[in-house]
Every structure is written in structure tokens, then in C-alpha cells.
């Protein structure tokens, strides 16, 4: 625990209005993908489908009018911050954007608990990105309003994993029976940590493809195997490319390296290019949480199997669904 003062008990949560929908998400923090069951996922995916229809037909709605979201980002973000913002605005709500917290009180030494307790005076829900593992849980312990984890260091990125899973389901029409290869920085990449946990709810085989120094945390590999999945760790992407249904590529997370020389040695370890794509199945998809640095060549963008831009678009529908669900309106 950091900060001062005792955490607020969750019994102090906002009073539930009579018109709220009891969906199992109302008033809840979204901290980890471990909170999700297959049923809860399919509920959120159904709502996301409806959100897409809403956006395509009308652009926006007034479902969350009068609600305010505080978007509190201690680390840079393009997609997560702007898609949460767009999601809230399209549902008729408003946003307080606080980006790369430098000029606000945190840079004057204010603790995370005090910052979230301040923001919840003005907002109904807080989306938080922070460089430390466990920070979202700490914020949730102190806040009485819901906290959504938008990435806690190398820990988790649950909303990214939801949109990743939603994308796989949409693109391939199923989640069971797939072979998923995760490629790149599996040590520091929080998106692959969350996605692996979510996928282990389904009948999926894993290939973890990385250089030796960027391997998936051993406890996560052990957990996946204990749940009965096949999980193979390999270094050469050529060994798995022909077998994979999903190739989930990640950026080497430069900001997590203490030794930049080590980063330089592994940063271009994998480059997905048209030549490699020729070895892949016709029905496979290439995903990436973005931003990419050089690990997928631009020439792959024209390939219909390149799903990363569709994946990015799905993020807004998923975040609309989550906001509506947590605020009791889905
Ligand atoms: N945007 C993703 C994240 O925040 C992936 C990345 O930064 O490489 O984790």
C-alpha cells in the first residue's frame, strides 16, 4: 500500500439509482482480466456489437449524458486514452483528460490515493494508466467510484485484452480450438499477459515466441499449463508460423529496459514481412496492440490477414460497452 489514510470501504460506493441495469458490472472496478468469465465476456461482446450498430447508424447516443469520466494517464497513450474519450463522448458523457501527469499535482508529490480521491469528487468513473504494477488496485482501494485499469506497468491491460479477444472472435468466428502465437516482448508486454489469461478460459494452444531474455513470465506459463493448455516456448517464429491461427505481435518495450544496450540487441529480433506471411495459413490473422516500431513491415498492411487496424477500431466499441456496463446503463 502507498499513500496515507485507510482505504475507503467499498460499502461506501455510490447509491444505486433505481434505473440501473443489474449486469454484474455495475459500480465495479475493472482491474484484471481474472474478473471475467466466459459468460461475462460474451455479455460485453454482445453490448459491443450493439455499440457498433449505434455508432454506424447514429454516431452517438445520450445513454451516459450527465456522466463524467476522468482519464488519468501517467504514461503516454494514443489509442487507449483517445478511444476511452471517444467512447464516453459518443455515449453523451463528458471527459476530464489528464495526460502524462506532469503539470498536475502528482508532479508536486501528491500520492495516487489523494489524486484519485480528488478526481472522484468531480467524475463518476476513473480510467487510470500508471507505470507501477498494482497501481490500479491501490487506486481502487481508496476510491469509492469505479476505477478502470488502462495499463499498470508490466502488469495488466484488461481492456486491451477484451478488445483483442473480441477481435479474434469477430475475425475467426470462434475462440475454442485455436492456436495462438504471441511474438516479441512477452516479458514486459502487459497486453500479452492479460490476453494469455483471458484466452486460457477457452480451448486454446499457445506458442510463446521470444528471445531468451524476453520470455513470458514462468508463473504465467505454468498457470496456462496447469489449466490443461499446450504451451510451447520457441525462439524462431518460422517454427510456428504455418500452424498459427493468430499471430499476436508485440513491440519490444524500450521504456522497461534498464540497460539500453540490451534493448538494442533485441529490438529488431522479429520482423513480420510478406515473405513470412507466405508461410502462414490463408485463414490466420495478424494482430498487434500498437504502436508498432518496426516489427511488422508496412507491406503487410495490404494483406487481408492484417487485422491490427480493425482490432484498434474494435477498442472503441468494447470501451463503450464497458463504460455503459459499469455505469449501470448497458
Ligand atoms: N499500447 C500497448 C500498451 O499500452 C502496447 C504497447 O505500448 O506496446 O501496453
| Rounded CA separation 224/166 (Å) | 20
Q: Residue 23: what pLDDT? A: 78
Q: Measured in angstroms, how far is the CA atom of residue 117 from the centroid of ligand 1?
A: 27
Q: Measured in angstroms, how far is the CA atom of residue 13 from the centroid of ligand 1?
A: 31
Q: Measured in angstroms, how far is the CA atom of residue 320 from the centroid of ligand 1?
A: 20
Q: What is the pLDDT of residues 230-282, one digit of tens each?
A: 999 999 999 999 999 999 999 999 999 999 999 999 999 999 999 999 999 99
Q: Measured in angstroms, how far is the CA atom of residue 188 from the centroid of ligand 1?
A: 10
Residue with CA nearest ligand 1 atom 8: 251
Q: Residue 101: what pLDDT? A: 73
Q: β-strands 125-130, 178-183: how paired? A: unpaired
Residue given cell 508460423 in the structure block: 241
Q: Residue 287: what pLDDT? A: 98
Q: Measured in angstroms, how far is the CA atom of residue 153 from the centroid of ligand 1?
A: 10
Domains of the chain, earliest start first: 33-156+315-326 (3.40.50.1370), 158-312 (3.40.50.1370)
Q: Is 160 helix (H, G, I), strand (E, B) or coil?
A: helix
CA distances from 45 to 14, 53, 71, 73, 116 (A): 26, 13, 23, 26, 29
Ligand 1 contacts CB of residue 251 (under 6 A): yes
Ligand 1 contacts CB of residue 328 (under 6 A): no
Residue stretches of the chain with pLDDT short of 70: 1-22, 102-107, 109
Ligand 1 contacts CB of residue 190 (under 6 A): yes
One-character DSSP codes across 181-209: EEES-TTT-HHHHHHHHHHTTSSEEEEEE
Q: Residue 72: what pLDDT? A: 96
Q: Measured in angstroms, how far is the CA atom of residue 54 from the centroid of ligand 1?
A: 28
Residue with CA nearest ligand 1 atom 4: 151
Q: Residue 82: what pLDDT? A: 97
Residue with CA nearest ligand 1 atom 3: 191
Q: Residue 20: what pLDDT? A: 62
Q: What is the pLDDT of residues 103-130, one digit of tens each?
A: 566 667 679 999 999 999 999 999 999 9
Ligand 1 contacts CB of residue 191 (under 6 A): yes
Amino acid at each position: 500500500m502507498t499513500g496515507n489514510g485507510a482505504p475507503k470501504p467499498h460499502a461506501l460506493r455510490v447509491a444505486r439509482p433505481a434505473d440501473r441495469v443489474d449486469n454484474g458490472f455495475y459500480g465495479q472496478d475493472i482491474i484484471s482480466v481474472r474478473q471475467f468469465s466466459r459468460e461475462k465476456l460474451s455479455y460485453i461482446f454482445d453490448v459491443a456489437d450493439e455499440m457498433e450498430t449505434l455508432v454506424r447508424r447514429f454516431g452517438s447516443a445520450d445513454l451516459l449524458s450527465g456522466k463524467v469520466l476522468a482519464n488519468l494517464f501517467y504514461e503516454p497513450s494514443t489509442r487507449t486514452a483517445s478511444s476511452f474519450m471517444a467512447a464516453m463522448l459518443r455515449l453523451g458523457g463528458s471527459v476530464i483528460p489528464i495526460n502524462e501527469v506532469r503539470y498536475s499535482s502528482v508532479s508536486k508529490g501528491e500520492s495516487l490515493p489523494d489524486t484519485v480521491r480528488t478526481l472522484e469528487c468531480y467524475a463518476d468513473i476513473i480510467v487510470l494508466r500508471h507505470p507501477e504494477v498494482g497501481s490500479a488496485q491501490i487506486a481502487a482501494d481508496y476510491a469509492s467510484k469505479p476505477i478502470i485499469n488502462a495499463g499498470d506497468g508490466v502488469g495488466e491491460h484488461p481492456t486491451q485484452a477484451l478488445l483483442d479477444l473480441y477481435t479474434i472472435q469477430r475475425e475467426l468466428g470462434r475462440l475454442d480450438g485455436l492456436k495462438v502465437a504471441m511474438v516479441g516482448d512477452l516479458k514486459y508486454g502487459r497486453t500479452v499477459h492479460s490476453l494469455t489469461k483471458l484466452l486460457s478460459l477457452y480451448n486454446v494452444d499457445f506458442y510463446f515466441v521470444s528471445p531468451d531474455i524476453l520470455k513470458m513470465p514462468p508463473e504465467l506459463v505454468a498457470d496456462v499449463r496447469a489449466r490443461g493448455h499446450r504451451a510451447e516456448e520457441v525462439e524462431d517464429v518460422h517454427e510456428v508460423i504455418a500452424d498459427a491461427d493468430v499471430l499476436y505481435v508485440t513491440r519490444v518495450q524500450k521504456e522497461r529496459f534498464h540497460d539500453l544496450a540490451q534493448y538494442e540487441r533485441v529490438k529488431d529480433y522479429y520482423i513480420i514481412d510478406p515473405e513470412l506471411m507466405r508461410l502462414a495459413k490463408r485463414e490466420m490473422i495478424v494482430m498487434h496492440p500498437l504502436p508498432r516500431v518496426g516489427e511488422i513491415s508496412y507491406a503487410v498492411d495490404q494483406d487481408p490477414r492484417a487485422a491490427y487496424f480493425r482490432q484498434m477500431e474494435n477498442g472503441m466499441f468494447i470501451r463503450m460497452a464497458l463504460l455503459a456496463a459499469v455505469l449501470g446503463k448497458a
